[in-house]
């Protein structure tokens, strides 16, 4: 009977686990890393971006997002939507073509790959014969024209990817159609562009690299007109009336050719060279002309520009990084009205220009925001923000965004079916330039709310007038800088390393690379004030130590004007000015505690005075005196100097390389501070020497109201854990509320624990009499948590890199422990306390520890029993940056960087999941053309593969068949036949 009872208990626990836990990677926030292709579907109102890593991402109205990943590890070079359909085709740089569709499943759409194809040439033919360089999706909806490096054009039927050899356009046939006097019919080079006649789908324009363009009649299988351009061709645009073709060329010129009327040779009506050389793309939508590139290389070779010309208005939009592609959105239900917005994808951001508002302002993007405007150095998540604080942050952010257009977001495709966010969540990111950015992390879109800059407090090496993008009156070309990506950091000491926000009081602490800790409060009005620094000498006069790292930041002596928002009113400067490695704020007690590689301190920000300074430095640890940044300091300094030279000499630089390098350097620095080795090792737990470097580095700080001296009297306390396995506890004495501003706060040593294995301490949690973690400061006062149980015995949970150990309080005797690893070498890297609500019952939930290891695995450990509940693989063990950047939420979710510009969001909770749920419907308008339709080739499987993934009515329209015929074809397919 006992065995059966135990089995029943285990089954019950397994059911509870299923209700509480479940791992999902839910959505990717931010800007795609290394974008390589862009396309827009006017009928679907969807934007698609392909990347060098083989990802394909679709975006519509805010919240409408889809993502797919090619199996091949190859860059996406082109993306094309099929007209009036929910299908798209991608071309990879391995020359493979892939068909994707948005299939409706259980009320939402899914992006699925439904086919792939690679051109095969004649036996023994050169690879260039089938190397695809240009793709045209014909308006018939069932034909692809593939131009190749060898000059041929292949015709392929979709969705089955069947080559129609009888319709192929060979280079020989094109060459024979040219006049005898055309340069002896010299080599035409590759197919640069394929364009369909907007008013006659029987005609396709083939543009060759050498410059000549040929208009080919698809029914007559012959050339009807040729355009004798002689300069290297960059792009082609066929005007909407079909009467003219515009071409851009490598010499910076663009030409207008008349193609309507009689005669086989088109006449050049106009040729212009706006700036000098290098135009790469031209686009005409009356009354606008859009020209990409074309800047004189000698003077402006580092500029990435699109010129917009409208009547007498001429602006060269100067972007922050290399232009990938652009398109124009038009008004009207059929999207043929006046141009309303210019959408430009550059290497590091997406910029949308409002073309209907005077001055052509930028429209703020609700997604695809470049998180890495300056390299991300740390993150901090705050759940369930009170409405009052939320509105104040929004209000402060709105004052910063007055330069944006008031027009709504112009890309509106799909329906966002995600439920409203149950609470307001904030993600705060710290950056290398000293800024803290506030993001609305409540839903699918990570939306920018507010930006705080800390640089104004300090005297830095910044050169505000050293900006090559400043425009002067009468300047030609008429540059205008657009975009917000800026990887330059004038002083790396400004880098933000730790953030802590109290959502109830509105107090914020920000700590930096040079030992600076700012305390800020939220203010609705602008203020002008000085910020005086209080020095915390963590060495406390110890002899024999000399700091060899960077100097501290100098504080401005004169008053500084701070705009509405978070304003600094107190500053602590650690000495030596080492990186702040731990930071905690207790706004109820008006205290801030901070730690570095030399020790920790306690600061009273109400009285602006130090309460406690404790040195933890090991006398043998000389490495800590060199400064943790010494290894990357010199490279950052040289980069900074290089940036200034670049600004003055205007030499082109790939900025994303710099951003990536800084991000990687910060991640590696954090990992080095954690264990002084990057690669995980196979080993058993063993004692570490007290002579190891950075043993005094403070890893975690924690405030608790608990029992320290006896079991009858609880008192405020401060706990600190170090890299050498030491835990220090201090009893705090706070004066009564009425005397708080006058009487000093005092701290007295109470307990000290040394772990036998000297493993670094990564977390400290005190559990109350019910075994629950203590509530946050002011949480009980706001009736958002029950009071801690002060009747039963409290427990101290100390989390080291290698194990979870529970002690009783106040005696600090070991009670239980859980070893994370014995052989496989796993070590705790990140830990958080989360509440896991049941997915079936609103009234049930459990507290647990969320844990990330150096192997990239996620664990949930129960409280107070300290038992391993679930384990999931999440991040590659080699991804040092991703593991170092992980941040947990209070409700079982988390974020980590998958690139310098993207957060991957994940959930360990079965109830709390934020993911896109969107529906994209097939456009009601069906493709119309006078071309003979391609009929099914007899392979019922290929037809039905598409039918099973798409709407039945769409299939009938696409193939020109009756619904009854489609049903008959479905019935004829054997269920055992593979799809």
pLDDT classification of 692: cutoffs 50, 70, 90: low
Class of domain 376-464+488-622: mainly beta
Residue with the larger pLDDT of the pair 941 and 760: 760
Coil, strand or helix at 772: coil
Helical axes 940-949 vs 952-959, angle rounded to 10°: 140
For residue 662, pLDDT over 80 is answered with no
Which whole number is the average pLDDT over 349-360?
97
What is d(CA 468, CA 465) in angstroms, rounded to the nearest whole number?
A: 9
Cβ atoms 243, 258 nearer than 8 A: yes
Tens digit of pLDDT for each residue in 116-144?
A: 999 987 788 888 899 999 999 999 999 99
Burial of 740 (0-12, 13-18, 19+ CB in 10 A): middle
Tens digit of pLDDT for each residue in 238-267?
A: 999 999 999 998 888 889 999 987 778 888
Tens digit of pLDDT for each residue in 862-921?
A: 999 999 999 999 999 999 999 999 999 999 999 999 999 999 999 999 999 999 999 999
For residue 766, pLDDT over 80 is answered with yes
For residue 178, pLDDT over 90 is answered with no
Which whole number is the average pLDDT over 74-92?
97
Model pLDDT, residue 933: 47
Residue with the larger pLDDT of the pair 534 and 72: 534
Residue with the larger pLDDT of the pair 208 and 693: 208
Burial of 930 (0-12, 13-18, 19+ CB in 10 A): exposed
8-state DSSP, 691: T
Q: Which residue has the tokens 């992390």?
A: 441
Q: Which two tokens stand for residue 500?
A: 């802590």
Residue with the larger pLDDT of the pair 559 and 972: 559
Model pLDDT, residue 634: 46
Model pLDDT, residue 470: 47
For residue 463, pLDDT over 70 is answered with no
Q: Which two tokens stand for residue 659?
A: 């951003």
Q: Spell out the domain ranges in the chain.
A: 286-363, 376-464+488-622, 702-825, 827-916
For residue 962, pLDDT over 90 is answered with no
Element (H, E) at 195: strand 191-197
Model pLDDT, residue 689: 53
pLDDT classification of 663: cutoffs 50, 70, 90: low
Element (H, E) at 868: strand 868-873
Q: Which two tokens stand for residue 48?
A: 């698609």
For residue 690, pLDDT over 60 is answered with no
Helical axes 963-972 vs 952-959, angle rounded to 10°: 100
Model pLDDT, residue 282: 82
Model pLDDT, residue 670: 55
What is d(CA 935, CA 485) in angstroms, rounded to the nearest whole number?
A: 50
pLDDT classification of 939: cutoffs 50, 70, 90: very low
What is d(CA 499, CA 112) in angstroms, rounded to the nearest whole number?
A: 40
Model pLDDT, residue 857: 96
Q: Which of 590-604, 608-622, 690-704 has the highest mean pLDDT?
A: 590-604
Q: Which two tokens stand for residue 232?
A: 């290297």
Which of 547, 552, 539 shows the shortest CA–CA distance to 613? 539
Peptide bond into 381 cis (omega under 30): no
Which of 362, 726, 707, 666 shows the shortest CA–CA distance to 512? 666
Give all strands of the β-sheet with 162-163 in edge-to-edge order: 132-137, 143-148, 153-157, 162-163
Residue with the larger pLDDT of the pair 296 and 530: 530
Residue 721 β-bridge partners:
700, 727
Model pLDDT, residue 299: 66
For residue 557, pLDDT over 60 is answered with yes
Model pLDDT, residue 938: 38
Tens digit of pLDDT for each residue in 488-508?
A: 777 899 999 999 999 999 999
Model pLDDT, residue 623: 76
What is d(CA 250, CA 767) in angstroms, rounded to the nearest whole number?
A: 70
Calculate what percentage of the chain has a pLDDT beyond 90.
Answer: 69
Global pTM value: 0.87
Average pLDDT along the chain: 86
Coil, strand or helix at 295: coil
Cβ atoms 168, 155 nearer than 8 A: yes
Q: How far apart are the first and last CA of the chain?
A: 51
Element (H, E) at 399: helix 387-400
CA distances to 102, 382, 408 from 398, rounded to whole Å, are 36, 21, 15
Which of 809, 820, 887, 885 shows the shortest CA–CA distance to 853? 820
Which whole number is the average pLDDT over 439-455?
97
Rg of the chain taking only CA atoms, in angstroms: 32
Model pLDDT, residue 180: 76
For residue 517, pLDDT over 50 is answered with yes
User: Rounded to an integer, what is the distance from CA 664 to the centroid of its chain?
Assistant: 15
Residue 500 β-bridge partners:
509
Calculate what percentage of the chain has a pLDDT beyond 70.
Answer: 83
Model pLDDT, residue 940: 38
Model pLDDT, residue 125: 82
């Amino acid at each position: 009977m006992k065995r059966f009872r135990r089995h029943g208990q285990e089954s019950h626990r397994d059911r509870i686990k299923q209700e509480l836990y479940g791992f999902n990677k839910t959505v990717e926030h931010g800007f795609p890393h290394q974008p390589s292709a862009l396309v827009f579907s006017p009928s679907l109102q969807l934007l698609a971006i392909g990347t060098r890593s083989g990802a394909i991402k679709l975006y519509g109205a805010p919240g409408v997002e889809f993502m797919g990943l090619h199996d091949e590890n190859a860059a996406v070079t082109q993306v094309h939507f099929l007209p009036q359909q929910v299908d798209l085709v991608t071309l990879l740089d391995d020359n493979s073509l892939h068909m994707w569709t948005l299939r409706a499943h259980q009320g939402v759409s899914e992006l699925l790959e439904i086919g792939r194809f690679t051109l095969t040439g004649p036996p023994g033919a050169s690879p260039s014969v089938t190397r695809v360089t240009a793709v045209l999706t014909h308006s018939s909806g069932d034909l692809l024209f593939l131009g190749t490096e060898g000059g041929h054009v292949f015709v392929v039927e979709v969705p089955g990817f069947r080559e129609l050899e009888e319709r192929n356009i060979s280079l020989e046939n094109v060459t024979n159609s040219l006049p005898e006097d055309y340069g002896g019919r010299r080599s035409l080079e590759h197919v640069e562009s394929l364009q369909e006649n907007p008013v006659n789908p029987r005609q396709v324009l083939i543009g060759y690299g050498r410059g000549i363009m040929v208009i080919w009649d698809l029914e007559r299988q012959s050339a009807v007109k040729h355009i004798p351009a002689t300069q290297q061709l960059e792009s082609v645009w066929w005007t909407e009336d079909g009467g003219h073709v515009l071409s851009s060329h490598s010499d910076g010129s663009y030409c207008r050719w008349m193609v309507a009327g009689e005669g086989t040779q088109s006449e050049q009506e106009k040729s212009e060279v706006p700036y000098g050389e290098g135009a790469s793309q031209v686009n005409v939508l009356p009354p606008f002309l859009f020209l990409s590139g074309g800047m004189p290389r000698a003077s402006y070779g580092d500029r990435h520009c699109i010129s917009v010309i409208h009547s007498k208005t001429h602006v060269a939009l100067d972007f922050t990084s290399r232009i990938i592609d652009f398109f124009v959105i038009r008004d009207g239900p059929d999207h043929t009205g006046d141009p309303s917005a210019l959408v430009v994808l550059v290497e590091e951001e997406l910029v949308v220009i409002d073309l209907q508002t005077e001055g052509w302002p930028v429209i703020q993007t609700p997604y695809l925001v470049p998180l890495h405007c300056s390299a991300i150095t740390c993150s901090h998540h705050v759940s369930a923000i009170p409405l009052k604080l939320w509105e104040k942050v929004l209000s402060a952010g709105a004052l910063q965004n007055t330069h944006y257009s008031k027009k709504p977001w112009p890309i509106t495709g799909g329906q966002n079916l995600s439920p409203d966010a149950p609470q307001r969540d904030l993600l705060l990111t710290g950056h290398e330039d000293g800024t803290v950015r506030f993001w609305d992390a409540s839903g699918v879109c990570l939306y920018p709310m507010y930006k705080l800059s800390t640089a104004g407090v300090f005297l830095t090496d910044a050169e505000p007038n050293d900006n090559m993008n400043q425009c002067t009156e009468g300047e030609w070309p008429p540059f205008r800088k657009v975009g917000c990506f800026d990887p330059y950091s004038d002083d790396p000491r400004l880098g933000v390393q730790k953030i802590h926000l109290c959502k109830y009081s509105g107090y914020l602490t920000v700590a930096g690379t040079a030992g600076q800790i700012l305390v800020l409060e939220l203010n609705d009005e602008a203020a002008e004030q000085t910020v005086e620094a209080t020095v915390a000498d963590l060495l406390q006069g110890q002899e024999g130590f000399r700091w060899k790292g960077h100097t501290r930041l100098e504080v401005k002596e004169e008053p500084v004007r701070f705009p509405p928002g978070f304003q600094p009113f107190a500053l602590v400067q650690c000495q030596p000015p080492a990186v702040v490695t731990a930071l905690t704020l207790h706004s109820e007690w008006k205290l801030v505690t901070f730690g570095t590689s030399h020790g920790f301190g306690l600061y009273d920000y109400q009285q602006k005075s130090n309460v406690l300074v404790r040195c933890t430095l090991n006398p043998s640890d000389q490495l800590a005196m060199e400064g943790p940044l010494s290894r990357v300091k010199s490279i950052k300094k040289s980069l900074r100097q290089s940036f200034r030279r670049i600004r003055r000499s205007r030499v082109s630089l790939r900025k994303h390389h710099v951003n990536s390098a800084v991000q990687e350097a910060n991640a590696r620095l954090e990992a080095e501070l954690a264990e002084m080795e990057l690669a995980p090792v196979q080993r058993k737990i063993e004692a570490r020497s007290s002579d190891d470097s950075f043993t005094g580095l403070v890893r975690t700080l924690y405030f608790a109201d608990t029992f320290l001296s006896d079991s009858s009297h609880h008192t405020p306390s401060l706990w600190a854990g170090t890299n050498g396995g030491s835990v220090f506890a201090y009893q705090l004495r706070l004066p009564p509320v009425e005397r708080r501003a006058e009487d000093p706060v005092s701290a007295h040593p109470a307990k000290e624990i040394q772990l036998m294995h000297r493993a670094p301490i990564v977390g400290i949690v005190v559990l109350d009499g019910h075994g629950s973690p203590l509530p946050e400061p002011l949480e009980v006062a706001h009736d958002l948590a029950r009071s801690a149980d002060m009747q039963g015995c409290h427990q101290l949970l100390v989390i080291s890199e290698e194990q979870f150990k529970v002690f009783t309080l106040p005696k600090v005797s070991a009670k239980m422990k859980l070893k994370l690893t014995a052989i496989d070498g796993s070590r705790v890297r990140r830990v958080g306390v989360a509440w896991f609500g049941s997915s079936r019952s609103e009234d049930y939930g459990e507290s647990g520890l969320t844990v990330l290891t150096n192997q990239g695995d996620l664990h949930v450990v129960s409280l107070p029993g300290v038992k391993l509940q679930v384990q999931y693989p999440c991040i590659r063990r080699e991804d040092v940056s991703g593991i170092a950047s992980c941040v947990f939420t209070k409700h079982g979710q988390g974020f980590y960087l998958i690139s310098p510009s993207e957060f991957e969001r994940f959930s360990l909770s079965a109830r709390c999941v934020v993911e896109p749920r969107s529906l994209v419907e097939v456009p009601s308008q069906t493709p119309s053309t006078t071309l003979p339709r391609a009929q099914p080739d007899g392979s019922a499987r290929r037809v039905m593969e598409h039918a099973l993934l798409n709407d039945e009515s769409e299939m009938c329209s696409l193939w020109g068949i009756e619904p009854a015929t489609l049903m008959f074809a479905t019935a004829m397919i054997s269920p055992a036949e593979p799809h």
